[in-house]
């Protein structure tokens, strides 16, 4: 959750610098870095570290036209969450404003926007796509 994205970022930035290109890096975090969920302390900590890394990357390389942002998804229906019971999922949904799972498509569309030129002035940000998790 931390070292692989750091290494990939390092090589992506090297490539952008070598070819004198501007670029956009998007990391994926988790709402668990901002809200407490039992049993996820290590996972949440690793995602928090990734968010700090992304913000510093934006600061260090923005002058070269390299942007870095983080998408912070809320709970989604994925293979990783398939073992949760309906009761466990309902408790998670109750912590959101919309009382539902986050749309995987919404997260993907946010990433697509951030790597596009439409987001050319957005860097160093954590974009929450989480159905209003509170």
Location of structure tokens 């949760």: 84
109 membership: H or E segment, kind and range:
helix 104-115
Q: Are 99 and 93 in contact (CB under 8 A)?
A: yes
**Which residue matches tokens 């990433």?**
111
**Residues 28, 23, 11, CA angle at the centre, nearest 5°?**
70
Is the CB of residue 47 less than 8 Å from the CB of residue 33?
yes
- In a 13 Å sphere around the CA of 69, the CA atoms on its Cβ side amount to 22
The reply to whether 93 belongs to the active site is: no
Q: Which of 11, 37, 43, 93 is catalytic?
A: 43
Active site residues: 43
């Amino acid at each position: 959750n931390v070292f692989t994205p750091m290494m990939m970022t390092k090589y992506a930035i090297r490539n952008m610098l070598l070819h004198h290109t501007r670029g956009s890096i998007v990391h994926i975090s988790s709402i668990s870095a901002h809200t407490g969920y039992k049993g996820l302390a290590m996972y949440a900590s690793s995602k928090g570290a990734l968010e700090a890394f992304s913000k510093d990357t934006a600061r260090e390389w923005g002058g070269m036209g390299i942007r870095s942002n983080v998408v912070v998804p809320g709970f989604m229906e994925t293979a990783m969450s398939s073992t949760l019971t309906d009761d466990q999922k309902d408790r998670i949904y109750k912590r959101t404003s919309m009382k539902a799972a986050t749309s995987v498509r919404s997260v993907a569309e946010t990433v697509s926007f951030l790597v596009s030129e439409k987001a050319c002035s957005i860097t160093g940000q954590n974009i929450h796509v989480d159905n209003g998790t509170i």
